[in-house]
Amino acid sequence: MGLAIKKITVLAEFDLDSYLRARSAAVDRALDGCLRRYSERSGNIWKAMHYGLFPGGKRLRPILVLAAGELFGAKRKTLLPFACAVEMIHGYSLIHDDLPALDNDDLRRGEPANHKVFGEGMALLAGDGLLTEAFHVMSGAAVLTNLPAELVLKLVHELSYAVGVAGLVGGQAFDLEAEKRAVDIGMVEYIHVRKTGALIRAAIRLGAQVAGASAADLRRVTRFGDCLGLAFQIADDILDILGETAPGERAQSGHSEWNKATYPSVVGIARAQERLKELSAQCLRELAPFGKASEPLRALATQVAARALQSNGKSAAGEIKI
Amino acid sequence: MGLAIKKITVLAEFDLDSYLRARSAAVDRALDGCLRRYSERSGNIWKAMHYGLFPGGKRLRPILVLAAGELFGAKRKTLLPFACAVEMIHGYSLIHDDLPALDNDDLRRGEPANHKVFGEGMALLAGDGLLTEAFHVMSGAAVLTNLPAELVLKLVHELSYAVGVAGLVGGQAFDLEAEKRAVDIGMVEYIHVRKTGALIRAAIRLGAQVAGASAADLRRVTRFGDCLGLAFQIADDILDILGETAPGERAQSGHSEWNKATYPSVVGIARAQERLKELSAQCLRELAPFGKASEPLRALATQVAARALQSNGKSAAGEIKI
């Protein structure tokens, strides 16, 4: 109990909200700068891409790029092109995911989905445009930031693997096929690791590698990223079922959350929350050797789990006791 | 007339068919190798991506990478990753273009479109997967071929620009918007240059740069690429209207070719053919300084125009007289 109180005191010293606000604003400015060069003569495609990025959500993934990079001493300016690329890929995946051909969601973050505003064709192209632009921004980073071309090329190779058939796209495809048949918990984790985990893992690895983290440190933050990615998706699934999503979000969805390949729908809320607690604890264990410098990542990981644990009437901080 | 006869004799010495067969087979093998590593556990997404690439069409774009690279002395093996990337991007654009949200074509090359076989959701993801894999294959080329990382990164940057908002995706978006309003010939060229021209231009520039072409030579083949891209699209539009497409292709299309933003629908077949002849002649002029080494590109350019000129009962070779 003494340990739990001490931990809460340490966390209180670190102001996560102002940390997130500053980085989120930096990401917003950088994303806006990336798109601005196309604005003049690009018509609706520019508007649809912009709408896919603004207003943003929590900007978790680009902030993870910044936080992992800053942990190992990289400058924010050097990290921002990679943070933008990761957020553009996240934005593209949401636009395509919401299309009638996939999830058929009319709302995203409580606002009309991209295809409800611009039409299905333009939304499809806006997603394609964001995915393409992600690789353009990233491949331009070597000239912009003086990073070695070998490193930037390696990161393009790694990110394109993480969001392709072996990762994000493959996870979405398995999810689509899982809707037609019964799934077990192994399949749910398999989908989560790819659909959500791969990009979160890549975000953290990108930041760490831009900063020149050692091989051992990279392995450690990769394990942190793997746990965080799965924790994030399980938390999201729990909140979906407990109705803690943004007002109106998914209200028009064509399917019940209980019928999807999610942790709580397969093993129930209580066991999903147990798994979330385990993952949360493992996240913090991986960060322990980095000490105070890892406070932003620690606070982020704690926040990811907290809402989904609190929403069952329990205090997340009290439950985790790390 | 003597000149025209001489030219036909020279062309006869170069066996375009066997040239195309050999390169097309090499591209097929390389594409198959790229996808094969994902096949085991990837299910339908792999099948849908494979279906999007096989059987291929003419493989014009990857063959242009090879032909432009070989013109300046690059080895086929070094060029193949770039050729594959270009063909994957072409494949992705066709899959997405055929979706109901865009062209709503049930057939592609006389066979059921991707979404008619795998469903709209899987086809959407297969396109996303091919676009992503294109950048993965290309960014892996430095390690595979010993090309300098700086060069490969520059080419990733260039290709992602060519197929993004400023190129392919932007062209498709303008095309989509043009369907709703009257278009003039300037807008048609603007769309063509982006929707079709950008990738053809990029294919040629990629090949030339992999081979280390001089700045002056690169400018020359770029001009060749610009003319060829526009010629290709105009020829395609003429053939669409004259019904020379593959049997069954576009038969189920939801729109008449005359209502689209095409050259012949805006200025008529005769003027479109005049423009095609001009472009064809310009293509060959740009290649003249390269002499015999440019025969494959010359023969390709001639072939692109020939069918659309012959289909009006005139001999293309006789008309062009270069």
Q: What is the mean pLDDT of residues B115-119?
A: 98
Give the pLDDT confidence score for residue A317 in this predicted structure.
36
- List the single residue in A45, A156, A163 with the smallest CB-CB distance to B139: A156
At A245, the pLDDT band (50, 70, 90 cuts) reads: low
Interface test mutation site (partner B, options A169, A175, A191, max chain B beta carbons within 10 A): A169
CB B218 within 8 A of CB B205: yes
Give the pLDDT confidence score for residue B179 in this predicted structure.
78
Closest CA of chain A from B20, distance in Å: 30
DSSP alpha helix (H) spans, chain B: 2-13, 16-36, 43-53, 60-71, 76-98, 114-118, 120-139, 141-145, 149-162, 168-178, 185-192, 198-210, 215-242, 263-267, 269-287, 295-310, 316-320
Q: What ipTM does this complex have?
A: 0.90
Residue A16 has pLDDT above 60, yes or no: yes
- List the single residue in B136, B154, B177 with the smallest CB-CB distance to A157: B136
pLDDT tens column, A19-45: 999 999 999 999 999 998 887 566 899
pLDDT tens column, A91-110: 999 999 999 999 999 999 89
Query: Is B42 in the A-facing interface, judged by CB distances under 8 Å?
Result: yes
Give the pLDDT confidence score for residue A314 in this predicted structure.
44
A64-73, A129-138, A178-187, B277-286: range with lowest mean pLDDT: A178-187
Give me A34's structure tokens. Answer: 């990336």
Gyration radius of chain A's alpha carbons: 19
Classified by CATH at the fold level, domain B2-320 comes out as Farnesyl Diphosphate Synthase (1.10.600)
Gyration radius of chain B's alpha carbons: 19
Q: Which residues of A touch B176 (CB under 8 A)?
A: 121-122, 125
Query: Is B145 in the A-facing interface, judged by CB distances under 8 Å?
Result: no
- HSE-CB for B209 with a 13 A CA cutoff: 22
Q: How far apart are CA B231 and CA B285, in angstroms?
A: 14
Residue from A264, A203, A208 nearest A229 by CA: A203
Sign of CA dihedral B107, B113, B116, B120: negative
Tell me which of A201 and A255 has the higher pLDDT. Answer: A201
CB A136 within 8 A of CB B168: no
What percentage of residues in chain B have a pLDDT greater than 70? Answer: 86
Q: What is the DSSP letter of A195?
A: I
Rounded to 5°, the CA angle A227-A233-A237 comes to 140
At B310, the pLDDT band (50, 70, 90 cuts) reads: confident
Which residue type sits at A132? T
Q: What is the mean pLDDT of residues B14-22?
A: 94
Tell me which of A68 and B192 has the higher pLDDT. Answer: A68
Q: How far apart are CA B12 and CA B6, in angstroms?
A: 10
Give me A274's structure tokens. Answer: 């147990």
Give the pLDDT confidence score for residue A7 in this predicted structure.
52
Q: What is the mean pLDDT of residues A249-265?
A: 59
- List the single residue in B46, B139, B163 with the smallest CB-CB distance to A160: B139
Residue A319 has pLDDT above 60, yes or no: no
| DSSP secondary structure, B130-155, as one string | HHHHHHHHHHTHHHHH---HHHHHHH
Angle of helix A295-310 relative to helix A60-71, nearest 10 degrees? 150
Q: What is the mean pLDDT of residues B92-117?
A: 96
Q: Hey, are the CB atoms on A121 and B38 less than 8 Å from each other?
A: no
Q: Hey, are the CB atoms on B139 and A131 less than 8 Å from each other?
A: no
Give the pLDDT confidence score for residue A41 in this predicted structure.
65
| Phi, psi of A102, rounded to the nearest 5 degrees | -115, -105
Give the pLDDT confidence score for residue B7 in this predicted structure.
52
pTM of the prediction?
0.90
Interface of A with B in 153-182 (CB under 8 A): 153-154, 156-157, 160-161, 163-166, 169-170, 172-174, 176-177
Residue from A169, A103, A98, A101 nearest A131 by CA: A169
DSSP alpha helix (H) spans, B197-245: 198-210, 215-242
CB B114 within 8 A of CB B129: no
> Bridge partners of B83?
none
Q: Calculate the dihedral angle through the C-alpha atoms of A156, A160, A166, A168, rounding to the nearest 10 degrees.
A: 130
Residue B318 has pLDDT above 70, yes or no: no
* C-beta neighbour count of A15 within 10 angstroms: 12
> Bridge partners of B317?
none
Residue A293 has pLDDT above 80, yes or no: yes
Residue B17 has pLDDT above 70, yes or no: yes
| Phi, psi of B221, rounded to the nearest 5 degrees | -70, -25
pLDDT tens column, A153-212: 999 999 999 999 999 999 999 999 887 777 888 888 889 999 999 999 999 999 999 999
Q: How far apart are CA A129 and CA A110, in angstroms?
A: 23
Give me B174's structure tokens. Answer: 């303008």
Query: Which H or E element spans position A111?
Result: strand A111-112
A112-116, A245-249, B90-94: range with lowest mean pLDDT: A245-249
Query: Is A303 in the B-facing interface, judged by CB distances under 8 Å?
Result: no
Determine the residue of chain A that is closest to B115 in CA distance: A101
Interface of A with B in 224-283 (CB under 8 A): none
Q: What is the mean pLDDT of residues B278-291?
A: 97
Q: What is the mean pLDDT of residues A256-264?
A: 68
At A2, the pLDDT band (50, 70, 90 cuts) reads: very low
Interface test mutation site (partner A, options B139, B154, B194, max chain A beta carbons within 10 A): B139
Q: What is the DSSP letter of A259?
A: G
> Bridge partners of B112?
B107
Interface test mutation site (partner A, options B40, B88, B157, B172, max chain A beta carbons within 10 A): B157
Query: Which H or E element spans position A88?
Result: helix A76-98
* C-beta neighbour count of B145 within 10 angstroms: 17
Residues 6+ apart with CB under 8 A from A17: none
Residue A249 has pLDDT above 60, yes or no: no
Give me B51's structure tokens. Answer: 């279906």
Q: How far apart are CA A197 and CA B266, in angstroms?
A: 50
Residue B313 has pLDDT above 50, yes or no: no
Give the pLDDT confidence score for residue A253 in this predicted structure.
43
- List the single residue in A46, A102, A148 with the smallest CB-CB distance to B121: A102
At B185, the pLDDT band (50, 70, 90 cuts) reads: confident
Residue from B239, B242, B205 nearest B222 by CA: B205
Tell me which of A124 and B264 has the higher pLDDT. Answer: A124
**Could you give the C-alpha distances from A144 to A88, B153, B216, in angstroms and in order?**
18, 13, 26
> Bridge partners of A107?
A112
Helix (H, G, I), strand (E, B) or coil at A167: coil
Give the pLDDT confidence score for residue B40 in this predicted structure.
58
Give me B191's structure tokens. Answer: 């769309």
Q: What is the DSSP letter of A127?
A: H
Q: How far apart are CA B197 and CA B287, in angstroms?
A: 18
Helix, strand, coil abundance in chain A, percent, nearest 5? 75, 0, 25
Q: What is the mean pLDDT of chain B?
A: 88
Give me A315's structure tokens. Answer: 């205090």
